[in-house]
Chain A
Amino acid sequence: MSAILDFLLGLAWPWTRLLLFLVGICAFVGLNAAYLVLAERKGAARFQRRPGPNEAGYAGWMQPFADGLKLLSKQVLIPPGTDALLYCVAPLMVMAPPLMCLAVVPFGESLVARNLDYGLLFVFSFGSINVMALMLGGWASRNKFSVISSARVVSQNVAYEIPMLLVVITLLMVAGTLDLNEVIRQQTGGFWQWNILRGIWDFRAGHIGANFLMPVTFIIFYTCMLAETNRAPFDMAEAESELVAGAFTEYGGMGFGVFFMAEYANIVLGCSLATILFLGGWQSPFPPVSFLAYFSGPLWGPIWFLAKMYCLVFSVIWVRWTFPRTQFYNLLNLSWKILIPISLFTLLLTGALMKLPLVWRHLF
């Protein structure tokens, strides 16, 4: 009897685990979206020297629920003349990819829904759906502002996908694996072992790292992430002073709310990825020696991960409220004329620096 139960449990466990994690991720994304909106508004208020939302609950802590309730209680309106199916599907399509991608993101060494060997590839393949969803939403709205915004989204995301992937390829050459957990495991042993610094000088091997331009690579990645998530100063899709609300002009109620949540889910995902690839993921910034070893472990992992990720999220908010919006062609110029050449150069440099020791040994 118990053997059969064990067998059934063994069969069901991977799926139960996945299900549990998906529920967890949904809750995580939902809460993040809700409270990042609050954090953004509070942050903006701080930069602008005003109190921000402070009425609902203690210091405005209930504001996300008030907002959510308001959005939920609104009528779902499909404007006449729109492509009703695409119009309704677009918000779901923009929300689904970050949820899927977070399934492979390791929050801790074992706190990952599905540790795929090709996690990085998975993230990028799903991440690209976001663009299509925004485009469809804008296109289906049958609004001229939305259509302009759709066209912008496509060219912007195509332009920024390239340097981002080049940067990721650079990292892949260094890491040699697509497994996100493995990428993090390689960065153990203190903050100087994180990819962002390890590239400059490899302390473990005691020689020059694979790519001394790694901080620049990180900045390129960060910039691309801002552009990919349509965040200011690259918020071409929702340029409110030019295109009213861009692709979201015709959306109201929860349709708009889902787009809004997806924006924050994408930010969380982008920052998670930056944390994993460059900042050591769940690794402690301290080396595991003497009492400092206490700070690394299964309990501390998620804490370090979230701390690093939220620092990046905060910087994203900071950037938004500091800079004006870029001009669209300047945005494309930045990608094609600056970011792509630099990332190509770092790619070549990494290749050269990795193979140089071999050549050296061969010659002498």
Chain B
Amino acid sequence: MNVSKELLPAGPSGEAPQETFILNLGPQHPATHGVLRIRTTMDGEWITRAEPIIGYIHRMHEKMGENRTWAKFLPNTGRIDYLSAMHYTHAFVGAVERAAKIEVPPRAEYVRVITSELNRIASHLVWWGALLLDLGGFTPILYSFEDRELILDLLEGLCGARLTFCYYRFGGLCNDVDAEFIDGTRALVKHMRPRLEMYRALVTGNIILRKRLEGIGPITAEMCRKYGATGPVIRGAGVAYDVRTVEPYSVYPQFDFKIPTYPEADSMARYHVRMDEMEQSLRIIEQALDQLPDGPVMGKVPRVLKLPVGDTTYAVEAARGRFMVRIVSDGKDTPYRLKLRTPCFSNLSLFEEASKGMMLPDALAMLGSLDLVIPDIDR
């Protein structure tokens, strides 16, 4: 055990010197949901400094991308943030399509939107259960996983995977959707609405939950800009920043949906943003199903894909924020540079500043409200 202690200078005369100790949260700690380590300097139960130490699950995704052909990197994308594989694949596929100027048939784009939004709901359901688990409520996660299971079943029918989906291809999709999926998705939308209502009634209104989240862990818009935090974190700070509207991609401009924002900037605001987002995702899915055009799901793609020399970026709104892929191609069949801009890295960076002076349980509640996926931080 680390018994070193830092003695801060003594306070005004007569007071004992302020004694702090170092507490290692992680890499194996129940609240970090993975191998994140936070080295906290504690004054009693108050955090004076919390320094995230990352890299325990670094897998060199960027380097891997630079060493294999475009198509071979495709399955990797789903493993960066394993909870929003669809979005990550979408970003990589989108970047390559943009660089190679590949036309994607409209039906494929609509299906991409539907599956992405389904994935978003599944991801938020995991977050919701995990946050409540952090707060000591064990039951909600089993309810949310029940709903998530339905979504995973639907997506499994499309591509065989239940978590690390690799459904999108350059120029389209690997499979067309069948009637079973469409009916199933419609049924799911019908099923989810009352469930969300139930979650609201049972959990959101709970006095203990509100006491633990309201007014706690403020992350201002300024702090978000400073650290590049995106997704529900910045929307929870009252800024309507959503890649789906500010940098529209795919067929998102076709749909009518709201970007939920809450100006309170506390943990509860981020909670509400995600809860509302699930509802908006249901709306998008409903509209996309109604407008779903017929036609092929695969465009014309050259057999050997070689991207022209150039620098391309493509950003998507993943479940945790802005995920961007930057491809620098030198004309070969592998990228010269593949840069992955992951949202969790930025969202975690602000933790050190935001957690200063907080109590340990509050800081962990805030950590839960950031919805971190650790492999996404380390890549």
Assess A47 versus B133: contact at CB under 8 Å? Given A241-B31, A324-B206.
no
Shortest CB distance A143–B (Å): 7
Of A81, A240, A327, the contact of B211 (CB 8 Å cutoff): A327
A239 to B136 alpha-carbon distance, docked (Å): 7
Q: What count of chain A residues pass the 8 Å CB interface test?
A: 31
Tell whether, in the assembled complex, residue A44 and residue B138 are in contact, meaning their CB atoms are under 8 Å apart. Answer: yes
Of B45, B208, B362, the contact of A233 (CB 8 Å cutoff): B208
Shortest CB distance B96–A (Å): 41
B180 within 8 A of A: no
Tell whether, in the assembled complex, residue B360 and residue A148 are in contact, meaning their CB atoms are under 8 Å apart. Answer: yes
Tell whether, in the assembled complex, residue B206 and residue A327 are in contact, meaning their CB atoms are under 8 Å apart. Answer: no
Q: Which residues of B contact A325 (CB under 8 A)?
A: 135-137, 208, 212, 361
A323 within 8 A of B: yes
Tell which of B139-147, B232-240, B271-279, B304-312 binds the partner: B139-147
Taking chain B's interface residues, is the majority helix, strand, or loop, or is none over half, making it mixed?
helix
B251 within 8 A of A: no
- With CB as the reference atom, state the residue of chain A lying closest to B361: A242
Assess A241 versus B135: contact at CB under 8 Å? Given A48-B142, A330-B211.
yes
B21 within 8 A of A: yes
Interface bracket on B: 20 to 34
- With CB as the reference atom, state the residue of chain A lying closest to B134: A241
Q: Which residues of B contact A152 (CB under 8 A)?
A: 45
A206 to B278 alpha-carbon distance, docked (Å): 59
Tell whether, in the assembled complex, residue B146 and residue A81 are in contact, meaning their CB atoms are under 8 Å apart. Answer: no
Of B1, B45, B133, B208, the contact of A323 (CB 8 Å cutoff): B208
A321 to B139 alpha-carbon distance, docked (Å): 6
Interface residues of A in 283-336 (CB under 8 A from B): 321-330
A48 to B21 alpha-carbon distance, docked (Å): 39
Tell whether, in the assembled complex, residue B364 and residue A241 are in contact, meaning their CB atoms are under 8 Å apart. Answer: yes
Digitize A50-61: 1 where CB-to-B-CB distance is under 8 Å, 0 elsewhere.
100000000000
Kindly name the residue among A44, A48, A242, A244 whose own CB sees the greatest number of chain B CB atoms within 10 A. Answer: A242
Shortest CB distance A318–B (Å): 11
A49 within 8 A of B: yes
A233 to B211 alpha-carbon distance, docked (Å): 13
A142 within 8 A of B: yes
Shortest CB distance B140–A (Å): 9
A235 within 8 A of B: yes
B209 within 8 A of A: yes
Tell whether, in the assembled complex, residue A48 and residue B211 are in contact, meaning their CB atoms are under 8 Å apart. Answer: no
Q: Which residues of A contact B212 (CB under 8 A)?
A: 324-327, 330
B163 within 8 A of A: no
Assess A323 versus B137: contact at CB under 8 Å? Given A241-B30, A330-B211.
yes
Q: Which residues of A contact B132 (CB under 8 A)?
A: 324
Interface residues of A in 68-89 (CB under 8 A from B): 81
Tell whether, in the assembled complex, residue B23 and residue A144 are in contact, meaning their CB atoms are under 8 Å apart. Answer: yes
Tell whether, in the assembled complex, residue B1 and residue A143 are in contact, meaning their CB atoms are under 8 Å apart. Answer: yes
Digitize A89-111: 1 where CB-to-B-CB distance is under 8 Å, 0 elsewhere.
00000000000000000000000
Digitize B202-244: 1 where CB-to-A-CB distance is under 8 Å, 0 elsewhere.
0000101101100000000000000000000000000000000
Q: Which residues of B contact A239 (CB under 8 A)?
A: 136, 361
Tell whether, in the assembled complex, residue A144 and residue B137 are in contact, meaning their CB atoms are under 8 Å apart. Answer: no
Shortest CB distance A359–B (Å): 41
A265 within 8 A of B: no
Q: Which residues of A contact B30 (CB under 8 A)?
A: 240-241, 244
A78 to B157 alpha-carbon distance, docked (Å): 52
B29 within 8 A of A: yes
Shortest CB distance A240–B (Å): 6
A213 within 8 A of B: no
A173 to B122 alpha-carbon distance, docked (Å): 57
Of B31, B44, B361, the contact of A327 (CB 8 Å cutoff): B361
Digitize A144-161: 1 where CB-to-B-CB distance is under 8 Å, 0 elsewhere.
110010011000000000
A232 within 8 A of B: yes
Q: Which residues of A contact B146 (CB under 8 A)?
A: 49
A50 to B139 alpha-carbon distance, docked (Å): 11
Q: Which residues of A contact B301 (CB under 8 A)?
A: none
Shortest CB distance A183–B (Å): 33
B359 within 8 A of A: yes
Of A47, A50, A142, A232, the contact of B136 (CB 8 Å cutoff): A232
Interface residues of B in 124-180 (CB under 8 A from A): 132-139, 142-143, 146
Digitize B39-57: 1 where CB-to-A-CB distance is under 8 Å, 0 elsewhere.
0001011000000000000
A329 to B133 alpha-carbon distance, docked (Å): 20
Interface residues of B in 1-43 (CB under 8 A from A): 1, 21, 23, 29-31, 42
Digitize B102-138: 1 where CB-to-A-CB distance is under 8 Å, 0 elsewhere.
0000000000000000000000000000001111111
Interface residues of A in 225-241 (CB under 8 A from B): 232-233, 235, 239-241
Q: Which residues of B contact A330 (CB under 8 A)?
A: 208, 211-212
Q: Which residues of A contact B31 (CB under 8 A)?
A: 241-242
Tell whether, in the assembled complex, residue A50 and residue B1 are in contact, meaning their CB atoms are under 8 Å apart. Answer: no
Shortest CB distance A233–B (Å): 6
- With CB as the reference atom, state the residue of chain A lying closest to B33: A241
Interface residues of A in 127-150 (CB under 8 A from B): 142-145, 148
Q: Which residues of A contact B206 (CB under 8 A)?
A: 323-324
Assess A324 versus B29: contact at CB under 8 Å? Given A48-B142, A142-B1.
no
Q: Which residues of A contact B137 (CB under 8 A)?
A: 322-325
Tell whether, in the assembled complex, residue B211 and residue A144 are in contact, meaning their CB atoms are under 8 Å apart. Answer: no
A241 to B130 alpha-carbon distance, docked (Å): 10
Q: Which residues of A contact B362 (CB under 8 A)?
A: 327
Tell whether, in the assembled complex, residue B364 and residue A328 are in contact, meaning their CB atoms are under 8 Å apart. Answer: no
A143 to B24 alpha-carbon distance, docked (Å): 11
A314 to B133 alpha-carbon distance, docked (Å): 22
- With CB as the reference atom, state the residue of chain A lying closest to B146: A49
Tell whether, in the assembled complex, residue B45 and residue A148 are in contact, meaning their CB atoms are under 8 Å apart. Answer: yes
Tell whether, in the assembled complex, residue B360 and residue A241 are in contact, meaning their CB atoms are under 8 Å apart. Answer: no
Shortest CB distance A44–B (Å): 7
- With CB as the reference atom, state the residue of chain B lying closest to A144: B23
Ordered nearest first, which 8 A-B pairs have the shortest CB separation? Answer: A325-B136, A324-B137, A48-B142, A324-B135, A241-B134, A241-B31, A324-B136, A242-B361
> Can you name 7 A-B pairs with beta carbons within 8 Å?
A47-B139, A144-B21, A145-B23, A148-B45, A151-B44, A241-B31, A328-B45
Which residues from chain B sit less than 8 Å from chain A, CB to CB? 1, 21, 23, 29-31, 42, 44-45, 132-139, 142-143, 146, 206, 208-209, 211-212, 359-362, 364
Q: A322-B137, A330-B212 are in contact. List 11 more A-B contacts (CB 8 A).
A: A48-B138, A48-B139, A48-B142, A241-B133, A242-B360, A244-B29, A321-B139, A323-B137, A323-B206, A324-B136, A324-B212
